[in-house]
Structure 1
Amino acid sequence: MSEVVLPLTVRDLTAEDLYPGFGGWSKTYLEGTFTALDRAKRGEVDFLAVCPPSGIPVATGGVDYAKPSGIALLWQLSVDAPLCGCGIGTVLIQALEQRIRDRGLALAELGFDEKKSRPRTLYERLGYVITGREPGAWDEEAPDGTVTRYETMITVMHKELA
């Protein structure tokens, strides 16, 4: 078995990175991402992409600074499924945490769907601790355009940034 090591770059996500089917995301999700990119232009959020030499994002995620009390919210964290477990999520989160520090904030928050346990392991390894639970719900669009309501419980985690 061979190991291939590729350099990764982290940069701001751009509208040019998005196209129908990007990351397997629905039209509704892509529209939300375009909205987030507009907010990034106003300095309300940072939205990053992790890319191999091709320049095509293999992971994306954002940090929202609009939460009260100086808490920065990490959200829309995504790594292409075949690449999960390769350390790319760690690269993305550490870059987002640096953006938070650069803003002079010291507390990061994120949440994960309790029906999906894999992210929890990563977040705990990176120093996040559970601080609560809250209901979560959103609309999910199927490839045929039908929309269903998804409801779950979200585990909320915090990390003090040095």
Structure 2
Amino acid sequence: MLLGVTTEDDTTVILPVGVRDLLPRDLPMCGWSGSATHLRSVERQLARAAEGEVEYLAVCTPVDLPVAIGGIDYQVSEGAGTLWQLAVLPALQGRGLGTLLVRAAEERVLHRGLRRAQLAVEEDNPRARALYERLGYVAYGRAPDSWDEEGPDGSIRRHETVCVLMRKAL
């Protein structure tokens, strides 16, 4: 895929991007995706990837910089791959990277012999929900979710939300 980026002087730069497995060495370059607590969680997920329970993908630029990341958990629901922790570098949102990431994840799910992908999106994230709907995901329920977030001062606070549950037949 080609990514177009417009500079401050209105010059458009076109960069090819590709999808590969996220690696532990990538984590220092993924601070944009969440807090230090989040990155420690991603690091734990990479250990699960080594066991085949999950896959974690990265969309990367030609200099191997991750600009979108996300996981697929095969342990959540029998017969489905559960997409989660999907994130795109904020400055590059709306340029097709989320679509590329989700489609690559769906291909991985199919490669595992599964015919359904599912995900949860926070109710207060209509932009992400619209993307998933454009890609064929259908809402089938709601569920509470929560996780710990690390603040700038190092304090930990609990984030609680409600998510829309979505799925897609592949």
Would you identify which runs of 4 or more consecutive aligned residues in structure 1 move more than 3 Å?
Answer: none
* Residue number among 43, 54, 72 corresponding to 1:63 in the alignment: 72
* Residue number among 120, 129, 136 corresponding to 2:129 in the alignment: 120
- Contact 2:80/2:109 (CA < 8 Å) preserved in 1? no
* Residue number among 60, 63, 86 corresponding to 1:54 in the alignment: 63
Give the length in aligned residue pairs: 161
Task: Tell me how large the CA RMSD over aligned residues is.
Answer: 1.3
Does 2:118 match 1:130? no
- Further displaced range: 15-24 or 78-87: 15-24
Q: Which residue is 2:4 aligned to?
A: none
Rate the CA distance shift 1:66–1:24 in 2: closer, same or farther, 3 A.
Answer: closer
* Residue number among 19, 23, 28 corresponding to 2:32 in the alignment: 23
Which protein is richer in strand relative to its size?
A: 2
* Residue number among 95, 98, 102 corresponding to 2:107 in the alignment: 98
Give the TM-score, by structure 1 length.
0.95
Identical columns (%):
48
Q: Which residue is 1:77 aligned to?
A: 86
- Further displaced range: 65-74 or 51-60: 65-74
- Contact 1:20/1:27 (CA < 8 Å) preserved in 2? no
Aligned with 1:54: secondary structure? coil
CA deviations on 1:24-74 (whole Å, 9 max, x unpaired) are 522211111111000000111110000111111000001000023212100
Q: Which residue is 2:164 aligned to?
A: 155
Rate the CA distance shift 1:55–1:65 in 2: closer, same or farther, 3 A.
Answer: same
- Contact 2:29/2:65 (CA < 8 Å) preserved in 1? no
* Residue number among 84, 88, 98 corresponding to 2:97 in the alignment: 88
Q: Which residue is 2:54 aligned to?
A: 45
Distance 1:130 1:91 in 2: 21
**How big is the shift at 1:22?**
1.9
